Every structure is written in C-alpha cells, then in structure tokens.
C-alpha cells in the first residue's frame, strides 16, 4: 500500500538511514566529520531537550514525537484519501468542544458553487460588525476537507471576535492546481459584494498562508480590489526547496519534519507538474508591491522559518507594512494547536489587534 521515501536534501555528504516505520532514527555512519563543500557547516549529532522558556501546554506540544506518517507516502489516490480521512476524523472530534469553549457557531454555506463555512462568534463586537475575514485552511493542499478545515477559523472568530468565511476549496487527488486558488478567488469575488474590501482580511496558515499570498497576487493580476490586511502564518512560500531552515530545522520540527517528506508529496499532487517557481505556487517569487498590511507568524523550530522571514523581507523591500512574530521553540504552525496554551492566545491576539488596526469599520 505505502512505500517510504527519504528526504534527499538531508543526506548531504554522509550516509544515514531512517527507520521510518517506527519513526525512530538510526545513524548508520561512524564517519568523522569532513568539510563537504566550501562553507558547509558540519554539525555533530545532538539531543535537543524541550525548552523551559515556553508554557507547560507548549512544552507538551514541543515534546510530541514525530508524526507517524511524516514520511509515509501512499502510492495511489486511495492511500492518500485514507490518510486524509484519518487526520480529518481526528480533528473533527475536537471541534464541538472548541466551538463550545469559544462560543462560535459554524454553518455550511455554498457561495457561487464553492463550499464554505460561515464561522462567527455568538456576539460580534461593535467594531467588527461590518468586517469580514476570508479563511483558507492549511494541510499541504490535500488535507483537512470539510469541517476539519475550520479549526483556525474558529480560533480567529472566538479569540478575535471576527465573522469568518472559511473556504472548503477543492483538493487533490481529485482537483489539482488551480482548483483551490480558483475556489478561493470565487469566494473573494463574492465577498466583494458582501462588504467593503478595506473592511476585509484574508488569512491562513501553511498551505493557507501561501494561498493568502497567492490570492493577493491573483487579485492584482485580475485587477480586483485587495483586502485591507492579510495574516499569513508560516506560509509554504517556496515549494522549490530553497530556504535555509529546510536544512537547519530538519528533524527538529516535529510537524513537517523534513523537506521532501509527506507534506511536500501532498503539495506535489497539487502542483501536478506546474513550474514550482510560479509565484501563484511559490509566492515568495511574486511581486509584492501594493500588498496590504501583513502580519506573519512562525516559530524558531519551524521548517518554514526561513520561508516566513524571506516573505517578510520581500514585503518590507516592496514598501509594505509587514510585521513578524516568531514564537520560541515552536515547530510548524504550533501556535494553533491548543486553545488553552497562552502562546495561542498571544498569537491570535496579535493577529486580531493587527487586523483591528488596519481594517476599515
């Protein structure tokens, strides 16, 4: 059913083997270190403890072992569907309690043929009555269909007091690029009839962080109005594998783990042979002049730390008001893992304040 692939970027200059089925790592080499290329840094093996500089809740998240499927690659569409269904089912179990705790209601709603969810707090604060956020979920362009894609939208609605439309965009194996982006743009065009663009933001994390950026690039191309602000969490901004933290945080990040593993294989189902340097797939290569104010979020152990800070620099070089928040010890997107972690409230609180500052009312 499934075969295992190793993340080839990691085996640079010396040999090691991953025993993937047990998710443990066995180093097969006894070689001494030698410089492999000018300037290459040869690092010894090491054990990295859980930092004591984060909350107990975050320590628990950071202490979690690598995901069992981080590098288990199905060889056919059915295998992918089984993985997707399993992770979606796990998330779905958590949603009723999350909605109840945050006093958030979620209703399915079709918008011009695209499936979405309306996600709203029971009481919307006065200053947010005329505001609307569009949410594009993460999951490496393949995971979290249906309701399972709404957890970040629930956090934003509950912690930020915003009305959110979460786009349940089409995904591979059935629908590769540009289906997801097309669906998101259909919703954006419909949203332009619901509210003023300056009163709206687009937000998302991981694949959703990249889609947030790609939606703005596409809106620029199509001469559509842009949102008043965006929030892009640890965006998959460069699918070509460039970015220093793909190497420096490899095996340290306990979410994505390594470049070329399961998440990137899912993204490859989406890109489906298209040029990975296309800015609509790797938005770090896009022209960011004229972008609305943006807030970016990442963590020090995030495999996409580099590709978040590279987007931040690109935005700033383009003269865009862009702020960056980096959380101690966190791997990819761990700021949305536990509603009870103070870091989650901190991250979403910052995003909500940023949106409140920049959106019209």
Shortest spacing between CB 329 and a second copy, in angstroms: 4
313 binds a second copy (CB under 8 A): yes
248 binds a second copy (CB under 8 A): yes
DSSP-derived secondary structure letter, 261 = S
249 binds a second copy (CB under 8 A): yes
Q: Which helix (H) or strand (E) holds 230?
A: strand 229-233
Binding residue for a second copy, selected from 2, 6, 10, 224, defined by CB under 8 A: 10
Site residue total, a second copy (CB under 8 A): 65
Shortest spacing between CB 332 and a second copy, in angstroms: 14
107 binds a second copy (CB under 8 A): no
Between the alpha carbon of residue 56 and those of residues 59, 343, 346, 352, the distances in Å are 5, 10, 15, 24
Identity of the residue, 137 or 312, whose beta carbon is nearer to a second copy in the bound complex: 312
- Residue 339 has phi, psi (to 5 degrees) of -60, -20
Between the alpha carbon of residue 67 and those of residues 194, 245, 251, the distances in Å are 40, 19, 11
CA distance 340 to 91: 16
41 binds a second copy (CB under 8 A): yes
Identity of the residue, 16 or 189, whose beta carbon is nearer to a second copy in the bound complex: 16
Q: Is 150 exposed, middle or buried (0-12, 13-18, 19+ CB in 10 A)?
A: buried
Identity of the residue, 99 or 312, whose beta carbon is nearer to a second copy in the bound complex: 312
Q: How many CB atoms lie within 10 A of CB 310?
A: 19
Identity of the residue, 105 or 289, whose beta carbon is nearer to a second copy in the bound complex: 289
99 binds a second copy (CB under 8 A): no
CA distance 208 to 139: 8
For a second copy, the binding residues in 325-344 under the rule CB under 8 A are 325-329
SS3 360: coil
Q: How many CB atoms lie within 10 A of CB 10?
A: 17
Binding residue for a second copy, selected from 1, 22, 37, 273, defined by CB under 8 A: 37
CA distance 179 to 181: 6
Stretch that binds a second copy, among 137-145, 166-174, 185-193, 236-244 (CB under 8 A): 236-244
Identity of the residue, 137 or 314, whose beta carbon is nearer to a second copy in the bound complex: 314
Quote the Cα angle for 173-176-177, to 5°.
Answer: 160
Answer for the pair 128, 162: CB distance below 8 angstroms, yes or no.
yes
22 binds a second copy (CB under 8 A): no
323 binds a second copy (CB under 8 A): yes
- 195 Ramachandran zone, left/alpha/beta (phi>0; psi -120 to 50): beta
Binding residue for a second copy, selected from 1, 22, 46, 107, defined by CB under 8 A: 46
Stretch that binds a second copy, among 89-97, 119-127, 264-272, 304-312 (CB under 8 A): 304-312
What is the distance of C-alpha 284 from the center of its chain?
14
Binding residue for a second copy, selected from 4, 13, 90, 275, defined by CB under 8 A: 13
Q: Which residues bind a second copy (CB under 8 A)?
A: 10, 12-14, 16, 24-27, 29-30, 32-33, 36-53, 59, 62-64, 242-245, 247-252, 254, 300-301, 305-306, 309-310, 312-313, 316-317, 323-329, 346, 350
């Amino acid at each position: 059913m499934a075969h295992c692939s190793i993340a080839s970027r990691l085996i640079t200059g010396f040999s090691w083997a991953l025993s993937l089925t047990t998710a443990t790592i066995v180093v097969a080499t006894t070689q001494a270190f030698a410089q492999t290329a000018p300037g290459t840094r040869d690092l010894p093996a090491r054990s990295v403890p859980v930092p004591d500089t984060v909350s107990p809740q975050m320590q628990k998240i950071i202490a979690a072992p690598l995901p069992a499927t981080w590098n288990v690659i199905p060889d056919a569409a059915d295998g992918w569907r089984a993985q997707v269904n399993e992770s979606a089912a796990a998330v779905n179990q958590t949603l009723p309690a999350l909605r109840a705790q945050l006093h958030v209601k979620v209703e399915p709603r079709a918008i011009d043929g695209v499936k979405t969810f309306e996600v709203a707090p029971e009481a919307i604060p006065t200053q947010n009555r005329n505001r609307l956020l569009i949410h594009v979920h993460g999951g490496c362009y393949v995971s979290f269909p249906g309701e399972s894609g709404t957890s970040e939208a629930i956090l934003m609605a509950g912690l930020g007091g915003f009305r959110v439309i979460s786009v349940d965009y089409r995904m591979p194996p059935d629908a590769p690029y540009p289906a997801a982006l097309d669906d998101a743009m259909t919703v954006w065009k419909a949203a332009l009839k619901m509210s003023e663009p300056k009163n709206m933001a687009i937000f998302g994390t991981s694949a959703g962080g990249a889609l947030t950026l790609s939606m703005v690039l596409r809106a620029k191309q199509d001469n559509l109005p842009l949102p008043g602000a965006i929030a892009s969490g640890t965006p998959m901004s460069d699918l070509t594998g460039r970015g220093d933290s793909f190497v420096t945080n490899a095996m340290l990040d306990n979410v994505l783990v390594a470049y070329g593993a399961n998440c990137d294989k899912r993204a490859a189902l989406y890109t489906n042979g298209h040029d990975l340097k296309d800015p609509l797939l790797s938005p770090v290569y896009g022209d960011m002049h004229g972008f609305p104010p943006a807030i970016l979020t990442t963590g020090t152990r995030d495999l996409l730390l580099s590709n978040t800070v590279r987007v931040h620099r690109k935005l700033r070089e383009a003269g865009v008001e862009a702020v960056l928040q980096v959380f101690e010890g966190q791997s990819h997107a761990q700021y949305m893992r536990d509603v009870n972690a103070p870091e989650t409230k901190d991250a979403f609180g910052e995003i909500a304040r940023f949106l409140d500052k920049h959106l019209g009312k």
